[in-house]
Amino acid sequence: MLTHILFTLIVKSEGERTIFNFIFTHKINEKYINLRYEHPAEWMNYTNEKGEITTPKPDFFLPEYNIYIEHWAIDEWGNVPEWFDQDYRKGMNAKIDGFKNQKKYSLIETTYGEFKSNNFINNFENKLIKEIRRKYPDKDFDFTEIGYSELVERVWKNRKESMERNPRDIANFITKAKTNGLTPEKIVERLEKEKWTLKQKAFAELALVIYWEYEKELRLTNEIDFSDMINQAILDLNKNKSLYENSFDHILIDEYQDISRQRYLLIKALMAKNLNCKLFCVGDDWQSIMGFAGSNLEFFIKFQDYFDHPARTDLSINYRSIKSIVDAGAELIKYNGDGQLPKQTIANNNHEKKIRVFSYSHKNTSIYHEQTAEHCVNMVKEYQMKGYSPQDIMILYRSRKIRLFNLINDRAGFNKVSIQENSQSPRYSPLMTIHKSKGLQAKVVFLLCVDKGLYGFPSEIEDPFIFEPAMYGKPNNKEEEERRLFYVAITRSKEDVIIYTQKDNESMFLKEIQKYTEVIEF
């Protein structure tokens, strides 16, 4: 039975509803608990009896604690309901085996049989607290229930943020659909024939309303967009045998790590018309950060599967950054495992200096942001007084939604410090998103709000799985892409990297480079 929960989530049983409501209405150490429903656990992929790759989707995931929660539909005697799919038990056992074969994630199990007892929620609370404390024995955890007014405020904020994200998410859905050559008609067909989660179907149906209208408007005005241009070029090349036949000796592609399926098809069509043509691609898979625009890293890391007789040359010497920054970046990328190509990186400049991490202990986020803004502006002023030009300094942030962005602008103006948003003027230090900094560099890079959470690192604003109906294959691994984005941020710097974070709310990425950092607590 589908049940609405706090106008926030649709779940599939009363037991799941009870678990969700409990987690939603409680805090751990005065912080809301980050919860994901039916989040695909790709690390647990297995091959089913039909030879198909299956991705389990446990009921709940607590990413800050690496804990999954499964509410099994079995009674107190371990029986599955007669009306359930016969594969339910097989899927259940496959998930349990998946947890047994690794150490990073843990599983809390509840059952329908337990749910019928009077002590279900108390028993679940005990299981949750016990598992968190077992995984993190060196930390203290205070579990508290939020009041009614705070609950109402949280529900409203949750819905407001979701509605604010919808226009951007819908635009990304349409972009991804077009870069994958999927018309609205094809997506409707996929929704009918393939298996999707409730959330995926609901969002796709919402996005399709806009997609239909957008396409209708383009036809009425006799216009096409950029994606249409490439799709039309592919169609014309495939239809017209003589078009650009034997016209090219070489095709050169820069930033190949950002290649999409659509652009791959364009390259293949051109290569098929020019049999003696040589393809030369330049790129760095460690800097692939354009998944939101439809890029697919598989075309890079599995290049040999898409083009015949490839030869690879690594440019391993980094002429920009000092050794400690180059080494920190390489250490960070190791955590992406098979998602990146292994390669050696060597700094031309052997100087070493710790990355400074300023950690603020204040639990109030607004005060933390005010303290960070004041310190950042003062440090920029100090560098400028030492003779650094404004363009020697760059200030980066993950998301413009953070309040800190406006605070820095205000303080910079008040203190007459040369900082300006997205500035290209030599008179100002630029303040910009990390995505916009790609290809740029500075002697000193400030990196703001390297924290956990919605607008932190990794960012949790976007759910990549809602875009799957608009794509062929799986989306890029979100955590890995966020790690690459962090890599891009720290490697913009030639000499100094200065990071701001909130104590006990630090990004997981800071732990991954901790031997290259110096933490200064306030």
pLDDT digits (tens, 9 = 90+) for 159-184: 776 777 888 899 999 999 998 889 99
Banded model confidence at residue 4, pLDDT cuts 50, 70, 90: very low
Residues 154 and 142 in one domain: no
pLDDT at residue 1 greater than cutoff 50: no
408, 357 Cβ separation under 8 angstroms: no
Residues 128 and 239 in one domain: no
**pTM for this prediction:** 0.77
Q: What is the dihedral of CA 414, 416, 422, 428, to 10 degrees?
A: 180
Count of C-beta atoms within a 10 Å radius of residue 221: 8
Residues 260 and 285 in one domain: yes
Q: Is 307 exposed, middle or buried (CB count within 10 Å of its CB: 0-12, 13-18, 19+)?
A: middle
The total of structural domains in the chain comes to 4
| Phi, psi for 317 (deg, rounded to 5) | -90, 125
Angle at 381 between CA 379 and CA 385, to 5 degrees: 115
Please report whether residue 21 resides in a domain. yes
With pLDDT > 70 as the criterion, what percentage of the chain qualifies? 96
Residues 279 and 302 in one domain: yes
Q: Please report, for residues 289, 351, 392, 442, 514, the alpha-carbon distance to residue 325 in angstroms, rounded to integers and kept in the order given.
A: 19, 9, 17, 13, 12
Residues 41 and 154 in one domain: no
Q: If you average pLDDT over residues 402-415, what whole number do you get?
A: 82
**Of 146, 180, 210, which residue is a domain's last?**
146
Please report whether residue 409 resides in a domain. yes
Q: Please report, for residues 38, 59, 403, 464, 478, the alpha-carbon distance to residue 44 in angstroms, rounded to integers and kept in the order given.
A: 13, 14, 37, 18, 16
Please report whether residue 318 resides in a domain. no
**Of 263, 290, 313, which residue is a domain's last?**
313
Q: If you average pLDDT over residues 337-366, what whole number do you get?
A: 91
**Of 94, 123, 146, which residue is a domain's last?**
146
Nearest to 484 by CA among 320, 337, 356, 332: 332
CATH number at residue 271: 3.40.50.300
pLDDT, residue 5, reads: 39
State which residues form the domain around 235. Answer: 226-313
Count of C-beta atoms within a 10 Å radius of residue 217: 10
How far apart are alpha carbons 199 and 56 in whole angstroms? 16
DSSP 273-294: H-TTPEEEE---GGG---GGGT
Please report whether residue 337 resides in a domain. yes
User: Helix or strand or coil: residue 37?
Assistant: strand
Residues 294 and 236 in one domain: yes
Residues 165 and 274 in one domain: no
Residues 196 and 134 in one domain: no
Tokens standing for 377? 């502006």
Q: pLDDT for 295-344, tens place per residue? A: 889 899 999 999 999 999 999 999 999 999 999 999 999 999 888 898 99
Nearest to 250 by CA among 297, 282, 287, 285: 282
Residues 275 and 401 in one domain: no
372, 360 Cβ separation under 8 angstroms: yes
Residues 351 and 496 in one domain: yes
